Amino acid sequence: MTSRPASSRYGRYAGGPDPLAPPVDLSEALDAIGEDVMAGYSPERAMSEFLRRGSKDQRGLDALARKIAEKRRDLLQRNNLDGTMNEVKELLDKAVLEERKQLARDIHLDDDDRSFREMQLENLPASTAAAVSDLSGYDWQSDAARESYEQIKDLLGRELLDQRFAGMKQAMENATDEDREAINEMLEDLNGLLEKHAQARTQEDTQAVDRAFSAFMDKHGEFFPENPRDIDELLDALAKRSAAAQRMLNSMSPEQREELMQLSAQAFGSPQLAEQLSRLDANLQAARPGEDWSGSERFEGEQGMGLGDGTGALQDLAELDELFDQLSQSYAGARMDDLDLDKLARQLGDDAAVDARKLAELEKALRETGYLKKDSTGNYRLSPKAMRQLGKALLKDVANRMSGRQGARDVRQSGAAGERSGSTREWAFGDTEPWDIPRTVNNAVLRTVEEGGDPRTGVRLDIRDVEVTETEARTQAAVALLVDTSFSMAMDGRWVPMKRTALALHTLIKSRFRGDHLELIGFGRHAQVMEIEELTAKDAFWDKGTNLHHGLLLANRHFRKHPNAQPVLLIVTDGEPTAHLESSGEVWFEYPPHPLTIAHSIRELDNAGRLGAQTTFFRLGDDPGLARFIDSMAKRVDGNVVAPELDDLGAAVVGSYLGSRGPRASYRDFGGWGGGRGSWVSE
């Protein structure tokens, strides 16, 4: 006998993050976070800002929050709470009309009786609720009229139930007397269970409540499709719905509330249902006082909602408010893990939940993959790993600008020829350096193992395995990058480009020219040697003074520490020196620049010239006085002046550094930066 093959069913994966989704790409996030950190944000705030903005292919928290706000506004502007009242009025009008028709054509009816009935119908109260109440004892002559009136009582009962138990309006359609009796019995048992729970004091009482809950669910579980596991889950679900029903009542006008209260007594033709539901509301409010029982909303639309739909809308509004708070991340200790993705999918669809999950994974990856580290004070800082990643991106941008076209290969080459530097790197198209055979073979073996192969049976080289040796074309360099950190740099928008430039040069030297010695020196009112992490995280603050003299002192000290290296002096500034260091160590400041400050700066620049420093000034801004001063300074030491636009500052500094490592370069030798927008002033 041939067995039938097993059938398979396929559906959406719901076990967490998509296992086939590509890994989280952190490069764009790191670039954006790095930009904000260099602008003065803390890494924590910078990460929060990125999550709020999102990326070019990824909606951020702000976009999702806007969708939440739009849906909330649409609910209020599209709907009103008159749905049930309008439906009751339509049924009442239909019943009265059918009855009048029947009275007009019934020839067997006594004239006095007909006149009395017509007078009753003619003098019905204007209030729909009062009219329904007045007709509760009316002896209908028309079967169609009686059916319409009975539909009113049935509708009211189903709507009141739907307020507390979602979906009950549809479930109880065409209900029989036995169905209604089962509802009344369930409500009686439910209220008894809740009251027993409220009175429980001892462990024995609690155990008795648990047994009563199990018995209740065995008997009435069909009414609770959410299948609560214990009485607390049952209370949570019922209280949220009941509180929304109360908020709906609060949202009605006093006249609407009064009409509804009168009509509720007609539900299923008996006040028993309204009494049981009122008892239920009281029990739930006592058990869950923390729910919002007093709130209200203002519905201004034209589309009427029934009691159940209105309660559902109030639940949706509460859920939307909760999601908006979660997406705002504005409360203390907020984390992306706080987002309720199920609620978000329910309100905005699966795509919104996918976007939010990606953002949560991104935040988790940033925290757990070592890109953000806590310092001794508990604050987050960009880790060295993150700095390297950010520096690589900046260096790639610099390479593109220097090439004059997008997509050009990175500035990788340590030297066109010469002795090997001892460093290796991954091969890239156009490289002519010799292969590093041991590292290439080792890469191939490791890749084979990672891909599940057995290196003992053979290893095939792949282009991804190849590493080449770097070569040095000249002697080592001692590089001093002096960056102006006075407040004018931040005030005129030069703060972040300055930091980007420093990080790009730092990355180039640490990754491609490891034999060179770089010192970063910031000079404001005074100068200081700074690590790259310190410089990139430095906040702009009011610092009166541009102490180029102190910066040059530190640069010359750096050059003297490395007597066998070629000194390279790179100075980025937007102002003339207005401060210098006295022999006592005190800072002298005066504006406009004092001749003594100028003299101190010139003397220290001359010392750099005597040490053989190749000097380039990068002048930011169009101040004629600054231009004259820097031109005269550069001529004293046979240096260069570059006046780049801010976007091209990094390319200008890196290009000058690369030029210092070979024969003296001209603008043409490096292809310009940014399409020739900068200006080069030679000696």
What does R_g of the chain's alpha carbons equal in angstroms?
A: 40
Return the domain boundaries, the chain.
27-79+320-382, 82-298, 417-472, 475-681
pLDDT one-digit tens code per residue, 481-495: 999 999 888 888 888
Task: Classify burial at 130, counting beta carbons within 10 Å of its beta carbon; exposed 0-12, middle 13-18, buried 19 or more.
Answer: middle
- CA distance linking residue 96 with residue 106, whole number of Å: 15
- On whether the CB atoms of residues 287 and 193 are closer than 8 A, the answer is no
Q: Establish whether the linkage from the previous residue to 595 is cis, with ω within 30° of 0.
A: no
pLDDT over threshold 60, residue 417:
no
Q: What is the DSSP letter of 455?
A: G
Q: Predicted confidence band at 24 (pLDDT cuts at 50, 70, 90)?
A: low
Write out pLDDT tens, residues 339-357.
999 999 999 999 999 889 8
Sign of the Cα torsion 397, 398, 399, 403 reads positive
- Separation CA 548–CA 565 (nearest Å): 23
- In the structure encoding, which two tokens stand for residue 171, read together? 């479930």
pLDDT at 420: 59
Q: Residue 8: what pLDDT?
A: 53
Cβ contacts of 140-145, under 8 Å, gap ≥ 24: 140/95, 140/99, 141/99, 141/102, 141/103, 141/106, 141/109, 141/117, 142/98, 142/99, 142/101, 142/102, 144/98, 144/102, 145/94, 145/95, 145/96, 145/97, 145/98, 145/99, 145/102
Task: Please choose, from the candidates 200, 253, 260, 257, the residue with its C-alpha nearest in 3D space to the C-alpha of residue 231.
Answer: 200
Mean pLDDT of 246-271: 89
Tell me the mean pLDDT in the region 461-465. 85
- So what's the pLDDT on residue 56? 79
Residue 369 in tokens: 């993959």
Place of tokens 């059938």: 7
Least confident of 6-10, 174-178, 243-247, 297-301: 6-10
Residue 18 has pLDDT above 60, yes or no: no
Topology of the domain comprising 475-681 = Rossmann fold (3.40.50)
What is the total residue count of the chain? 683
* 267-304 per-position pLDDT tens digit: 888 889 999 999 999 999 999 999 999 999 999 999 99
Residues 595, 598, 602: CA angle, nearest 5 degrees: 140
* Phi, psi of 216, deg, nearest 5: -60, -45
Give pLDDT tens digits for 611-662. 999 999 999 988 899 999 999 999 999 999 999 998 888 888 988 888 876 6
Cα separation of 465 and 452, whole Å?
16
Confidence band for 539, pLDDT divided at 50, 70 and 90: confident
C-beta separation of 398 from 370 below 8 A: no
CA–CA separation, 509 vs 421, rounded Å?
13
If you search the block for the tokens 């002298």, which residue do you land on?
Answer: 588
Torsion of CA 547, 550, 554, 559, to 10 degrees: 90
Convert the pLDDT of each residue in 385-404 to its tens digit: 777 777 787 777 787 777 65
pLDDT on residue 608: 96
Task: Give Cα 432 distance to the centre of its chain.
Answer: 45
Which has more confidence, 490 or 74? Answer: 74
> What backbone torsions phi and psi does residue 670 show, to the nearest 5 degrees?
-115, 15
Q: How far apart are CA 308 and CA 568, in angstroms?
A: 78
pLDDT over 70 at 307, yes or no: yes
Task: Using pLDDT thresholds of 50, 70 and 90, give the confidence band for residue 666.
Answer: very low
Q: Taking the mean position of all CA atoms in its chain, how far away is CA 349? A: 17
State residue 673's pLDDT score.
36
The pTM score is 0.66
* Nearest-angstrom CA–CA distance, 276 and 164: 11
Beta bridge partners, 518, equal: 479
DSSP, residue by residue, 131-186: HHHHGGG---S-HHHHHHHHHHHHHHHHHHHHHHSTTHHHHTTT--HHHHHHHHHH
What lies within 8 Å, CB to CB, of 470 at 6+ separation is 413, 414, 415, 420, 421, 422, 423, 424, 425, 433, 512
Token representation of residue 246: 């109360």
147 alpha-carbon distance from chain centroid: 56
Task: Over range 362-388, report the average pLDDT.
Answer: 76
- At 450 the pLDDT is 79
Res. 558 pLDDT band, cuts 50 70 90: very high
Q: Which amino acid is at 313?
A: A
Looking only at the bridges linking them, the beta strands covering 380-382 and 372-374 are antiparallel
